[in-house]
Structure 1
Amino acid sequence: MFEDPRRKKQLQKFIQKLGLSETESVNWSLLNLALTHPSISSTDNYEQLEFVGDSVIRLISAELLLEVYPQEPVGEFAAIRSILVSDRVLAELAESYGIEPYLLIGSNATGNPIGRQSWLADAFEAVLGALYLSTHNMDLIRPWLDSVLKTKAAEVRSDPARLNYKDALQEWTQKKYKILPKYRVRENKQFKSSAHPTNISIHEDRFLAEVWLKNRCLGKGYGRSKKASEQAAAKEAFIAVRDVGH
C-alpha cells in the first residue's frame, strides 16, 4: 500500500491527465518509482521500469501499425516504429501529457538542458513499464496512447523527410549541387539559464544554428542542444527548398 497521501494525490492527477478514469488497478508504488530520477536515488529510481517500458512501447507501436496499415511491408513498419520509439518523439509525448511537474528530479539534473530530452523520454518509458506491470496487460496504456501514436505515425508517413531533416536536406543538396550543407552553431544570446532565476527568460533554447549552402543561408533554428538546433535549421531549409520547387 502506498503510504504517502500527498504524493498519491499528485500521481492521481497525473493519471487523470492521461485520460484514465479507472485507477483501482494502478500500482502507485511502481508509478512513483517510474517518476523518480536517478539523481534522487541511485537504487530506487525509474531505470528498471524504463527497461520494461522500452519493450512495451515497441510492442504497442508494432501492434498499432499492423492494425492501421495492414498492407504496408515490414520494412516500412520498422522505419516508422524506429521514429515512434525515438527519444525525440517520446520526450514530445512526455511534454504533451505534462509529465515534468510530477517527476522527482535533482537540481543538478534539471540544470542540464541538453539531457532534458533523454530523461523525459526515459521517464515516459518508465511510466509505461509501471502501468504494464500494474495489470500485466495493456489495459492502462492503449486507451490513451493509441490515438497519439496513430497521429504521430500518420505524420511520419506523410513526411518525406521522416522527421530527419538533416539527412533529407543533405540528400537534396548532394543531388542538386553535389555538395553538403554547412552548419554554423553559436550560443543563443537571448538564452537565459534557469541557473539565474532573477533574469527574465527570453528564449528557452540555448543554441542557434544556421545552415548554409553556396554562401546562402537556407535556414535557422533554435535548440536545447547543438544537434537539436541543427535539426531545426535543417527543417526550415528543407521545407523552404521543397515548397519553392528548387
Structure 2
Amino acid sequence: MPATPRPQPALAPQRRHQLLALLQRLGLDPTAAGGPGDGPEALALIDEALTHTSAGLAHHHDRLEFLGDAVLRLAAAEYLQRQHPNLSVGQCSALRAQLVSDRWLADLAERCGLADVVRIGAMAEGDLAGRRTVLAETCEALIGGLYDSWGGSLVPVHLWLDSHWRQTTAELLADPDQHNWKSALQEWSQGQGLGLPVYRCLERNRRHADPRRFHCRVSLPATHEAKPVAQPLGEGWGGSRREAEQQAARAALEHIRQQPS
C-alpha cells in the first residue's frame, strides 16, 4: 500500500520541468494510465527521492531509499522469474545480487544522467569517492519514489529498468563466472583440494577516487615437503579492497585456464 502523503514544499516550475525531462529520459510518462500526473504535487515524491540528505533540506531521500531497496529486489526477482524461468534458484540469486548491487546502481545513475538532477550538499559534491555512493543511494530512492508515486505499482520500475537488466544479464550469462571471480576461484581451489585462496591487499595511496588505490595478490596454500607454500596466481588493482580482490581473482582464473589441461 502506498505511503500516506506528507506535506511537501512547493515545487518550482524549473524543477518541475527538470524532473519531467528526467522521467522522459527514463521512458516514463506520468500522465499515462496509472501514473501520478505531471503537476507539482504529483512530482513531489520524485523530487524528494532526488534530494540527498547532504543537501540539508527537510524532505530528503532516506525514507524512499529504504522503500526502494525492497522494491528493487522484488522487481529484479520478478524480472528473472519472467525472463529466465529455466535458471536455478542459485543462478537467479547470483544474478540478482549483481542486478541490485551499489556498483550497478551507480553505473545506471550515471548512464541516465541522475547526477544532473540530484540535490546534494557542497561537501558531498566535493567527495569524489562518495559521489558514486550518493548516486547509488538516490537511484534506489528514485525506484522507491516511482513505486510510491504510481500507487504501489512495479510497472514504472520495470519500464525503466528491464532494458538495462536485459543488457547486464546477457553480459553476465556470457561470463562463466558472472563477474564474481572470487567465488569462482574459491570453488575451483576447493574442488582441487587446495584450500581457500589467500588475499593480501595493500593500500597504495589515500586518493579516494583512484582506481589503483588498492593492490592485491591472491595465492593458494599448497603443501610442499610437508610445509605450506604460497602459490601466487594473480594480482589486481581497485578503488576498494573488494574490487582489487575481485580483479586479482579474475587474473588468477585467467592464468589457471591458460594452463595445459
TM range (shorter): 0.7 to 0.9
Contact 1:64 1:150 in 2 (8 A): no
- Name the counterpart of 2:6: none
Change (3 A) 1:124 1:239: farther
- Name the counterpart of 1:163: 179
Residues 1:148 and 2:164 aligned together:
yes
In structure 2, how many angstroms separate the alpha carbons of the residues matched to 1:237 and 1:95? 30
In structure 1, how many angstroms separate the alpha carbons of the residues matched to 2:258 and 2:160? 35
Residues 1:205 and 2:186 aligned together:
no
Structure 1 stretch displaced more, 227-236 or 35-44: 227-236
Query: Within 5 Å, which residues of 2 pair with 1:1-246?
Result: 3-20=11-28, 22-24=29-31, 25=37, 27-41=42-56, 43-136=58-151, 137-176=153-192, 177-178=194-195, 180-188=197-205, 204-205=210-211, 207-213=213-219, 214=230, 216=232, 218-223=234-239, 225-244=240-259
**TM-score with structure 1 setting the length:** 0.78
Larger CA Rg, structure 1 vs 2? 2
Q: Tell me, which stretches of 5 or more residues in structure 1 are unaligned?
A: 194-202
Q: Residue type matched to 2:244 in 1? A: S
Contact 1:210 1:217 in 2 (8 A): no
Change (3 A) 1:185 1:30: same
The Cα shift of 1:67 comes to 1.2
String of CA shifts for 1:200-246, please: whole Å, max 9, x gaps: xxx743613132435756232232x2332332333343334335567
Structure 1 stretch displaced more, 150-159 or 126-135: 150-159
Change (3 A) 1:173 1:112: farther
In structure 1, how many angstroms separate the alpha carbons of the residues matched to 2:185 and 2:27? 38
**TM-score with structure 2 setting the length:** 0.74
The Cα shift of 1:186 comes to 2.7
Q: Residue type matched to 2:202 in 1? A: V
What RMSD over aligned residues (CA atoms) do the two structures have, in Å? 2.9
Q: Residue type matched to 1:107 in 2? A: A
Question: In structure 2, the residue corresponding to 1:39 is in which secondary structure?
Answer: helix
The Cα shift of 1:37 comes to 1.0
In structure 1, how many angstroms separate the alpha carbons of the residues matched to 2:119 and 2:10? 16
Change (3 A) 1:42 1:8: closer
Q: Which stretches of structure 1, 4 residues or longer, exceed 6 Å deviation after superposition?
A: none
In structure 2, how many angstroms separate the alpha carbons of the residues matched to 1:215 and 1:64? 42
Task: Give the aligned length.
Answer: 233
The Cα shift of 1:124 comes to 0.9
Question: In structure 2, the residue corresponding to 1:36 is in which secondary structure?
Answer: coil
